[in-house]
């Protein structure tokens, strides 16, 4: 029953089901959970930095006191008090002109993304997304049978000129993008942040081209250096739908995220969410509510920042000390990820088995593109391992890359004698370092 040809249901699936494939991250799951492997692959937050005893006590007391609500069905839109508190969280990134009525609580912001795909995307629709993009967003767009057009980034984030080019080319073909999907802060996987100036430029283009922007911001409060830049949503209530999450500021195991959207869209989102899950988990929502109101949650965010800053530093220091000269990487000012570009001729996906053999894991770059780019790229996550493990992981990875370069030198020597050609898919990919 396992092979496709033996699947007795093969002739029953919907069109959209035939395109479903496991993501690069999921394919790694079994491998990276082996304890001897240093995993720089997954994006798991450092939840052990939470005071688990006091969180446990808080939750126990909550269920004793409010169990009739915490264990019951709730509103499809989400708990009203939690939606009020979410306004205060968004205010930290400059979003002030919102009412709780415009907030929909979701089962993690992934569900928010999926709901937006569901209400906006017909098969064949065009979505603009950074190059590279969050793999979970690409999966959702793929499930909706949309066509993703990637917009290059550099160290200052999405490149507005490239966005303008894509928009005018679409317009010339009589097409319109349903929306631009962007992660402006501490991008997953690229690690870069959209600059202040470019935020204005992106929104000016949105205005000029009647473009809807989906701003996905799970990491915004996890900056190491400066106060967060005002969100895109803080600058435009009309053109921006905002996705937030408690997965990185509190805990992903609760699956509590949200969408902030204009009323008309909010209505559709609630109906779509009710069809999907009836309502988000009441227990999770009340746990977040209680945590925000009774615990020093923002002090804990500062603890997380320090944890991740130390890990980011360990990553960058180890990369600088250990990587061969032609390897380049981004320098994140927050969040979880460093994006690495290998020297020309190397293939991060092909290298993966050797890396796992050397007991280090990463995510190959191709998973973050809808169009086969990213061969030379890989994502390192520094959020979960401690600094010593990170250094050891980077050391192992450097060794693997060095061996690949030796192989390449041998191979290129042989090839040069026979005439060198550039392999398919070996594009430099964007303007990221």
- Minimum distance, C-beta of residue 376 to its own copies, in the bound complex (Å): 27
Nearer to its own copies, 20 or 321 (CB): 20
Nearest CA to 380 out of 395, 366, 368, 364 is that of 364
Nearer to its own copies, 21 or 410 (CB): 21
Nearest CA to 397 out of 385, 414, 413, 409 is that of 385
Strands (E) in 207-350, as ranges, are: 213-216, 240-245, 257-260, 328-329, 337-341
Q: How far apart are CA 80 and CA 101, in angstroms?
A: 8
- Minimum distance, C-beta of residue 82 to its own copies, in the bound complex (Å): 13
Nearer to its own copies, 261 or 356 (CB): 261
- Minimum distance, C-beta of residue 53 to its own copies, in the bound complex (Å): 5
Q: How far apart are CA 117 and CA 128, in angstroms?
A: 13
Nearer to its own copies, 156 or 277 (CB): 277
Bond prior to 259 in cis (omega within 30° of 0)? no
Nearest CA to 24 out of 183, 139, 127 is that of 139
- Minimum distance, C-beta of residue 148 to its own copies, in the bound complex (Å): 14
Q: What is the dihedral of CA 42, 48, 54, 57, to 10 degrees?
A: 60
- Minimum distance, C-beta of residue 78 to its own copies, in the bound complex (Å): 13
- Minimum distance, C-beta of residue 353 to its own copies, in the bound complex (Å): 23
Distance from the first to the final alpha carbon of the chain: 46
Nearer to its own copies, 189 or 429 (CB): 189
258 in Cβ contact with 86 (< 8 Å): yes
- Minimum distance, C-beta of residue 380 to its own copies, in the bound complex (Å): 18
- Minimum distance, C-beta of residue 401 to its own copies, in the bound complex (Å): 28
Nearer to its own copies, 142 or 341 (CB): 142
DSSP 365-377: GGGG-SSS--TTE
- Minimum distance, C-beta of residue 203 to its own copies, in the bound complex (Å): 16
199 in Cβ contact with 183 (< 8 Å): no
Q: What is the dihedral of CA 285, 290, 291, 295, to 10 degrees?
A: 170
Nearer to its own copies, 10 or 204 (CB): 10
58 in Cβ contact with 295 (< 8 Å): yes
Using CA atoms, how far residue 11 sits from 2, 6, 17, 144, in Å, is: 15, 11, 11, 20
Pairing of strands 363-364, 377-381: antiparallel
Sequence-distant (≥ 6) Cβ neighbours of residue 270 within 8 angstroms: 76, 77, 104
Residue 257's CB: how many other CB atoms inside 10 A?
Answer: 25
Nearer to its own copies, 250 or 329 (CB): 250
Nearer to its own copies, 283 or 378 (CB): 283
Q: How far apart are CA 280 and CA 104, in angstroms?
A: 10
- Minimum distance, C-beta of residue 415 to its own copies, in the bound complex (Å): 39
Nearer to its own copies, 234 or 272 (CB): 272
């Amino acid at each position: 029953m396992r092979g496709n040809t033996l699947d007795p249901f093969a002739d029953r699936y919907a069109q959209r089901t035939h395109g479903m494939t496991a993501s690069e991250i999921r394919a790694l799951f079994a491998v990276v959970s082996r304890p001897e492997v240093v995993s720089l692959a997954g994006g798991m937050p450092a939840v052990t930095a939470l005071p688990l005893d006091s969180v446990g006590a808080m939750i126990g007391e909550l269920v004793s006191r409010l169990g009739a609500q915490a264990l019951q069905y709730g509103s499809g839109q989400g708990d009203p008090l939690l939606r009020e508190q979410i306004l205060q969280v968004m205010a930290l990134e400059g979003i002030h002109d919102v009412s709780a009525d415009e907030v929909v609580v979701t089962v993690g912001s992934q569900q928010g993304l999926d709901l937006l795909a569901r209400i906006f995307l017909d098969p064949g629709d065009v979505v603009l997304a950074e190059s590279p993009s969050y793999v979970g967003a690409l999966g959702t767009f793929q499930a909706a049978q949309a066509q993703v057009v990637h917009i290059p980034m550099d160290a200052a984030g999405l490149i507005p000129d490239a966005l303008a080019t894509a928009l005018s080319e679409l317009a010339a073909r009589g097409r319109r993008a349903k929306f631009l999907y962007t992660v402006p802060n501490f991008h997953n996987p690229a690690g870069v942040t959209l600059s202040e100036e470019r935020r204005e430029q992106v929104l000016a283009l949105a205005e000029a081209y009647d473009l809807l922007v989906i701003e996905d911001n799970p990491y915004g409060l996890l900056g190491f250096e400066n106060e967060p830049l005002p969100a895109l949503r803080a600058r435009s209530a009309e053109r921006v739908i905002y996705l937030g999450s408690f997965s990185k500021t509190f805990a992903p195991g609760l699956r509590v995220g949200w969408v902030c959207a204009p009323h008309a869209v909010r209505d559709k989102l609630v109906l779509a969410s009710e069809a999907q899950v009836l309502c988000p988990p009441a227990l999770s929502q009340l746990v977040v509510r209680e945590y925000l109101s009774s615990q020093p949650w923002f002090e804990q965010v500062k603890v997380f920042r320090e944890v991740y800053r130390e890990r980011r530093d360990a990553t960058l220091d180890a990369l600088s000390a250990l990587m061969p000269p032609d390897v380049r990487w981004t320098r994140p000012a927050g969040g979880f990820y460093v994006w690495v570009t290998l020297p020309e001729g190397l293939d991060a996906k092909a290298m993966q088995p050797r890396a796992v053999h050397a007991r280090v894991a990463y995510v190959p770059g191709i998973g973050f593109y809808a169009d086969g780019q990213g061969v030379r790229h890989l994502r390192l996550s520094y959020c979960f391992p401690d600094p010593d493990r990170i250094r050891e992981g980077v050391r192992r990875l450097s060794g693997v890359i060095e061996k690949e370069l030796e192989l390449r030198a041998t191979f290129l020597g042989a090839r040069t004698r026979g005439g060198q050609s550039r392999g398919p898919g070996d594009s430099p990919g964007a303007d990221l370092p």
